[in-house]
Amino acid sequence: MKQYLLSVYQPDGDPPPPEVLEKVMQDVGAWRSQLQAAGAWVFTAGLQPPDTAAVVRFTDGGMLTTDGPFAEGKEHVGGFTIIKAANLDAAIEWGRKLARAVTPLPIEVRPLAGDAGD
């Protein structure tokens, strides 16, 4: 089985109100239970806000470290899940189920490279 990254993109700014977030988290929990029951779950993690990030870059013979995310934008990766799936279509189906749970946030489905993804 190949492994895939499902990335959850969320807008910058405040999270949704507690009553909305509670429903989303219940739906995500149900999705994760389905994923685990199917033997497709590998790993899940949420991320701290982008302003907690640091970028390290080797440039001009030295290291440059900057605060904040690498790319500025109106959205950021808020969390991710690594899954196992027989093929991209199966991974996309898991992504569709997650998208229903976190509506209206988009989900990016991407195969892992190397031994984990090939």
Residue 76 has phi, psi (to 5 degrees) of -150, 160
- Does residue 60 lie within any of the structural domains? no
pLDDT of residue 116: 63
Report d(CA 55, CA 68) in Å as an integer.
7
- Residue 68 within any structural domain of the chain: no
Using only C-alpha atoms, what is the Rg of the chain?
16
Question: What is the mean pLDDT for each group of 10 consecutive residues in the chain (118 residues)?
Answer: 96 88 95 98 94 92 90 90 98 98 95 76
Query: What's the whole-model pTM score?
Result: 0.88
Domain membership flag for residue 14: yes
* Helix or strand run (H / E) with residue 118: none
CATH number at residue 108: 3.30.70.1060
| Segment (H or E) for 15 | none
Residue 15, pLDDT score: 83
> How far is residue 57 from each of residues 47, 48, 67, 76, measured CA to CA in Å?
21, 21, 12, 20
Structural domain count, the chain: 1
Q: Domain span at residue 87?
A: 2-47+74-113
